Structure 1
Amino acid sequence: MENDMKDRIKIIIFAAVTAILAAVDQYTKYLAAAGLKNRPAFRIIDGVLELTYLQNRGAAWGMLEGRQGFFAVLTVLVLIAIVYVIIRTPFTKKYVPVNIAATLLAAGALGNFIDRCMYGYVRDFIYFRIIDFPVFNIADIYVTAATVLFIIVFLFVYKDGDFAYLLPGKPQR
């Protein structure tokens, strides 16, 4: 009974934090569209960082432009996989990094998914001019942070077998 309650709490926390982070992403995109669309870039640090409005109809760096159906299907599959991982991952201190990374990844995927469904493109607005990095948004930051966290913990924290519970038929730890 105690594990059922812990699992429910974990899922509620995941859903709430994912929704809040996606809402923050959507709000920043709204502000960017309202304040930057059809206007010159707003320089925060001259030559380094600026805010500029861009409608990205592809994935990262505009790749696969115009393939919104593909992105919709991919996002739904990714979100299903994340929910599976969240449900199966034990609610213990050892797996907090996995839960955090999965939540960030879900929030980023959801934030950009909402844009693609509502507008047919993703609203990007953060531009690092100094390195000419492609324009990005808050959801992209979530996805990048989740990816970095996953890489770090998979390389340096967890051992072989720590994720056997994700396989079908294996008991949760």
Structure 2
Amino acid sequence: MLIYYIISLVVIGIDQITKYLTLENIPLHENIEVIPSILSFTYFKNTGAAWSILEGQMIFFYIVTFIVVGVIVYYMQTQGRNDKKFAFALSLILGGAIGNFIDRLLLKYVVDMIRLEFIDFPIFNVADMALTMGVAFMILYLFYDEWKEHKQKKVGMK
């Protein structure tokens, strides 16, 4: 189980380092092209959640994050022990949730900086990527698990 908590810590570390570098090197709202027409870095203060929804609701985010982290740790300790895929998805979600929580706690906003130039998509950060990948892996895992269970029942009927 320790490896999955280490994965979460690595996500948090990379997230916080990229945010620190953004704060130190990119003025607010300045756009720095990395790959022209594809990727740039733009320092943005996000006081809400994804797509800036629920802006300024910090107490709400503190409570929700505390609950989410508690539920994730519970499932990592109970269900994650038996399934590496499930534990991996949870570790990404945990790292992402804590990464953004640190910003909200210390700065009262989340530092976003990654901008995809080729699509009209909100600016995001490493924690957001970890959360998104963790949720995607979780959905795939749940579909796979359901399919596997359905297949086993079908074999048992024969």
Shared fold, TM over 0.5:
yes
Aligned length: 149
Instruction: Pick from 105, 108, 124 the counterpart of residue 96 of structure 2.
Output: 108
Match of 1:57 in 2: 47
Task: State the alpha-carbon separation in 2 of the partners of residues 39 and 21 from structure 1.
Answer: 25
Residue 48 of structure 2 aligns to a residue in which SS?
coil
What is the correspondence of 1:146-157 to structure 2 with a 5 Å cutoff? 146-155=134-143, 157=144
C-alpha distance 64-38 of structure 1, shift in aligned 2 (>3 A): closer
Task: State the alpha-carbon separation in 1 of the partners of residues 106 and 125 from structure 2.
Answer: 16
C-alpha displacement of 1:153: 1.2
Aligned 8 A contact 2:80 2:86 in 1: no
Gapped regions of structure 1 (runs ≥ 5): 1-9, 163-173
What is the correspondence of 1:22-101 to structure 2 with a 5 Å cutoff? 22-38=12-28, 40-89=30-79, 91-92=81-82, 95-101=83-89
C-alpha displacement of 1:97: 1.0
Gapped regions of structure 2 (runs ≥ 5): 150-158
What is the correspondence of 1:93-172 to structure 2 with a 5 Å cutoff? 95-155=83-143, 157-159=144-146
Task: State the alpha-carbon separation in 2 of the partners of residues 90 and 42 from structure 1.
Answer: 40
Task: State the alpha-carbon separation in 1 of the partners of residues 29 and 54 from structure 2.
Answer: 27
List per-residue Cα deviations over 1:43-74 (Å, max 9, x = no partner). 11222211000000000010000001100100
Q: TM-score, normalised by structure 1?
A: 0.81
One-letter identity of the residue aligned with 1:53: Y
Residue 118 of structure 2 aligns to a residue in which SS?
helix
**Identical-pair percentage:** 34
Residue 111 of structure 2 aligns to a residue in which SS?
strand
Q: TM-score, normalised by structure 2?
A: 0.88
Task: State the alpha-carbon separation in 1 of the partners of residues 75 and 109 from structure 2.
Answer: 28
C-alpha distance 16-126 of structure 1, shift in aligned 2 (>3 A): same
C-alpha displacement of 1:20: 2.4
